[in-house]
Amino acid sequence: MTHWIHPEALAELEEAALYLAEHATPAIAQAFLLEYERVVAPLIDNPRRGPHSLFGMRLYHLDRFHYTVFYEEDAALGPQIYAVAAQARDPGYWLARRG
- Domain assignments of the chain as residue spans, ordered by start: 4-98
* Predicted TM-score (pTM) of this structure: 0.93
**Domain with residues 4-98, CATH architecture:** 2-Layer Sandwich (3.30)
Query: Do 70 and 53 form a contact (C-beta atoms < 8 A)?
Result: yes
Residues 6+ apart with CB under 8 A from 44: 1, 2, 3, 78, 79
pLDDT digits (tens, 9 = 90+) for 50-96: 999 988 899 999 999 999 999 999 988 999 999 999 999 888 899 99
